[in-house]
């Protein structure tokens, strides 16, 4: 839930670290800090606020010159965001420093023990406890840094990706991971360390992703040594070639990453089905499904686990799988699933959906499902992420890096993958006729062009945003396939504009929420022509009778709803099952413009972070 960057080599460390932290700011942005080492020792600069605040503080107060350093952008867990709680943390002796992403769950007893041994603490963080524990171990047993880190980590419970430095070993950084990601970029006589590869893609395309329970001693002019934290087994480093490019992680002329990512949807949906969907030949093929086709065909039930937007994609998939494949599907919040005692029967398949592939609750739910004997299939965006490695098989979405905290292209590409899976299973099972199947394949391949048409609602979305921006509350209603879209629309609005919004199945309105409707309540209704159109029109009448402000997402050419609604956003016609891929687009644009008009930080909404690697 925090971003970490480290550098050791021949370049100036500070600019690499600051730029890297800016790229990782999606992971947390309530405070930040940097340490650069040179012959004067460790120079540390920390502040509450964003990386830009850190940069202006560092540049006005210090001359951070040196070829080794580390930096951190924080999402607070232990201790409020302030200068003192920011990382890096320095040990009592002043010899060691650390940056940490994760949580040390047993920090309290460790802290009590260290206090008894004379250690003092200035921050409220678990991380300061860890660095002093490492120092204590190092001193007591007279150990080298790497060994001391290893011994200390074997005493902690929790999750971490850490970088540790010892002033007495100025050519070395020690890194370790458990439950939080850590990549090491390998250059010519230089190493980069980061939570993901974005901070170093312009310097090297070779990277190693540490596995859980692995640590590495990163030494200048020496090959990397990776070993297990639990024992001293050495692991052969597996160097991957990165597929990222700089353009993918820059705003490319857009005001915000969120807007750029909304506009990328036609191309990334295409990327997601490219080579997998050959509509003309009636072919859908995905290696992860083909290799496990029998298991899927025999499965009595599918359980989908996910959080947030990914959970909404799971709900869309529930409707699609049940209709196309005639298999019972349950969709669970991963955070609930992991803490009850879910029934998993022989043959049940669990599908875990996650953009980041690092969400702690989803990861824990996967582990539980595996313990209970389920075959777990992952739908992830980030290649090599923890979830993609923990699952038995999977299919990647090809959305590219999603940097805006609000998920947009992740959602539509997840639905694309899940739809392809459902179609492939329906084909194998014969639950859709050949002509139905052909129709869906064709229509799915038309979706990118239709999403482009949906993006034409941008100007209209701005007009509606101006009318909605001061509303304190908002309702989103949809039925069938578009009920999850209503939930997703409401989530988008609340997370980036801080307007309270709720999504409901349209017909549920009369069981309670209707009491909220008056002339001040904007109600966004998703009412495409296919599906339960007439029923939704009746719901719209009910809202109108109570003077609610109606904003409707309709199929192009619709006249009936247009007459009733205050505003409409038009999307092209498509099959009911595929309509979420279109109806969601104007809602993303609407939330975006409302947030911009309210002067909210669209890409980094308050209190949130992109990947939630804590419970």
Residues making contact with ligand M6R (CB under 6 A):
307-310, 354-356, 359, 362, 405-407, 491, 495, 611-612
Query: What is the Cα–Cα distance from 518 to 501, expressed in whole angstroms?
Result: 15
Burial (CB < 10 A; 0-12, 13-18, 19+), residue 598, is middle
Please count the CA atoms within 13 angstroms of the CA of 579 that sit on its side-chain side.
Answer: 31
For residues 19 and 312, which CB has a smaller minimum distance to ligand M6R in the complex? Answer: 312
- Selection from 168, 155, 161 nearest residue 129 by Cα: 155
- Selection from 272, 306, 497 nearest residue 405 by Cα: 497
600 among known catalytic residues: no
Cβ(156)–Cβ(133) below 8 Å: yes
Choice among 2, 45, 454, 474 that is catalytic: 2
- Selection from 549, 559, 556, 489 nearest residue 519 by Cα: 549
Closest approach of Cβ 459 to ligand M6R, in Å?
Answer: 24
For residues 311 and 483, which CB has a smaller minimum distance to ligand M6R in the complex? Answer: 311
Closest approach of Cβ 364 to ligand M6R, in Å?
Answer: 12
Closest approach of Cβ 75 to ligand M6R, in Å?
Answer: 12
- Selection from 488, 475, 458, 462 nearest residue 581 by Cα: 488
For residues 362 and 388, which CB has a smaller minimum distance to ligand M6R in the complex? Answer: 362
For residues 198 and 355, which CB has a smaller minimum distance to ligand M6R in the complex? Answer: 355
Sorted by sequence, the CB contacts under 8 Å of residue 347 that are 6+ apart come out as 295, 298, 299, 300, 301
Closest approach of Cβ 448 to ligand M6R, in Å?
Answer: 22
Q: Which two tokens stand for residue 600?
A: 């909210």
Q: Is the dihedral of CA 528, 529, 535, 538 positive or negative?
A: positive
Q: Is the dihedral of CA 42, 47, 53, 57 positive or negative?
A: negative
- C-alpha dihedral, 289 to 292 to 298 to 304, nearest 10°: -60
Closest approach of Cβ 115 to ligand M6R, in Å?
Answer: 36
Closest approach of Cβ 366 to ligand M6R, in Å?
Answer: 11
Would you list the DSSP string of 15-82? HHHHHHHHHHGGG--SEEEEEEEETTEEEEEEEES-HHHHHHHHHHH-----SEEEEEEE--SSS-SS
Closest approach of Cβ 353 to ligand M6R, in Å?
Answer: 7
Query: What is the Cα–Cα distance from 557 to 524, expressed in whole angstroms?
Result: 19
For residues 148 and 609, which CB has a smaller minimum distance to ligand M6R in the complex? Answer: 609
Q: Are strands 96-104 and 41-48 parallel, antiparallel or unpaired?
A: unpaired
Q: Which residue is nearest to ligand M6R (CB)?
A: 308
Closest approach of Cβ 368 to ligand M6R, in Å?
Answer: 16
- What Rg value do the Cα atoms of the chain yield, rounded? 25
Collapsing DSSP states into helix, strand and coil, what is residue 99? strand
For residues 135 and 603, which CB has a smaller minimum distance to ligand M6R in the complex? Answer: 603
Q: How many CB atoms lie within 10 A of CB 297?
A: 12
For residues 180 and 362, which CB has a smaller minimum distance to ligand M6R in the complex? Answer: 362
Sort residue 147 into left (φ over 0), alpha (ψ -120 to 50) or beta: alpha
Choice among 57, 409, 492, 610 that is catalytic: 610
For residues 307 and 451, which CB has a smaller minimum distance to ligand M6R in the complex? Answer: 307
Q: Which two tokens stand for residue 45?
A: 């600069």
Backbone angles phi, psi at 442, to 5 degrees: -60, -45
Query: How distant is the alpha carbon of residue 302 from its chain centre?
Result: 23
Q: How many CB atoms lie within 10 A of CB 393?
A: 19
Closest approach of Cβ 310 to ligand M6R, in Å?
Answer: 4
For residues 31 and 584, which CB has a smaller minimum distance to ligand M6R in the complex? Answer: 584
Catalytic residues: 2, 610
């Amino acid at each position: 839930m925090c971003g970490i960057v480290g550098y050791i080599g021949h370049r100036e460390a500070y600019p690499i670290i600051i730029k890297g932290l800016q790229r990782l700011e999606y992971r947390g942005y309530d405070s930040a800090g940097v340490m650069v080492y040179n012959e004067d020792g460790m120079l540390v600069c920390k502040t509450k606020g964003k990386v830009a605040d850190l940069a202006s503080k560092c540049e006005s107060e210090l001359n951070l010159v040196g070829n080794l350093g580390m930096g951190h952008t924080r999402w607070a867990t232990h201790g409020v965001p302030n200068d003192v709680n920011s990382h890096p943390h320095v040990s009592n002796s002043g010899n060691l420093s650390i940056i940490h992403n994760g949580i040390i769950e047993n920090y309290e007893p460790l802290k009590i023990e260290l206090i008894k041994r004379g250690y003092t603490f200035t921050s409220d963080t678990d991380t300061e406890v860890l660095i002093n524990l490492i120092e204590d171990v190092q001193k007591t047993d007279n150990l080298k840094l790497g060994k001391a880190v290893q011994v200390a980590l074997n005493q902690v419970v929790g999750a971490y990706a850490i970088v540790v430095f010892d002033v007495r070993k100025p050519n070395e950084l020690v890194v370790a991971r458990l439950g939080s990601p850590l990549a090491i970029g390998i250059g010519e006589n230089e190493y980069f360390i980061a939570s993901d590869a974005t901070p170093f893609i312009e310097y090297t395309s070779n990277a190693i992703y540490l596995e859980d329970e692995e640590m590495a001693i990163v030494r200048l002019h020496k090959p990397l040594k990776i070993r297990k934290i639990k024992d001293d087994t050495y692991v052969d480093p597996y160097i991957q070639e990165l597929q990222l490019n700089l353009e993918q992680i820059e705003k490319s002329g857009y005001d915000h990453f969120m807007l750029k990512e909304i506009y990328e949807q036609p191309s990334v949906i295409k990327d997601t089905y490219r080579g997998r969907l050959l509509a003309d030949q009636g072919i859908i093929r995905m290696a992860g499904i083909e290799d496990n086709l029998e298991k899927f065909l025999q499965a009595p039930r599918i359980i989908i686990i996910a959080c947030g937007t990914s959970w909404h994609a799971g709900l869309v998939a529930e409707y699609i799988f049940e209709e196309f494949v005639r298999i019972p599907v349950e969709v669970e919040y991963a955070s609930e699933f992991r803490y009850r005692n879910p029934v998993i029967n022989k043959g049940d398949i669990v599908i875990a959906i996650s953009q980041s592939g690092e969400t702690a609750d989803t990861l824990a739910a996967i582990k539980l499902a595996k313990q209970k004997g389920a075959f777990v299939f992952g739908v992830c965006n980030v290649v090599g992420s923890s979830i993609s490695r923990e699952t038995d098989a999977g299919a990647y979405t090809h959305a590219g890096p999603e940097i805006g905290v609000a998920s947009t292209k992740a959602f539509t590409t997840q639905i694309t993958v899940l739809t392809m899976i459902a179609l492939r299973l329906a084909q194998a099972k014969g639950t859709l006729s050949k002509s139905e199947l052909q129709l869906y394949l064709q229509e799915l391949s038309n979706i990118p062009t239709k999403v482009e048409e949906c993006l034409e609602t941008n100007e209209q979305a701005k007009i509606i945003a101006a009318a909605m921006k001061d509303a304190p509350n908002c309702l989103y209603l949809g039925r069938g396939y578009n009920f999850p879209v209503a939930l997703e629309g409401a989530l988008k609005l609340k997370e980036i504009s801080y307007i309270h919004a709720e999504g409901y199945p349209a017909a549920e309105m009369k069981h309670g929420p209707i009491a909220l409707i008056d002339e001040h309540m904007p109600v966004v209704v998703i009412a495409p022509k296919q599906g339960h159109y007439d029923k939704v029109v009746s719901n719209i009448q009910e809202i109108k009778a109570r003077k609610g402000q109606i904003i409707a997402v309709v199929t192009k050419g619709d006249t009936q709803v247009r007459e009733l609604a205050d505003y409409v956003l038009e999307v092209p016609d498509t099959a009911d099952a595929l309509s979420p891929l279109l109806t969601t687009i104007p809602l993303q644009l609407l939330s975006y413009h409302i947030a911009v008009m309210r002067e909210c930080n669209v890409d980094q909404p308050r209190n949130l972070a992109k990947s939630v690697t804590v419970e």
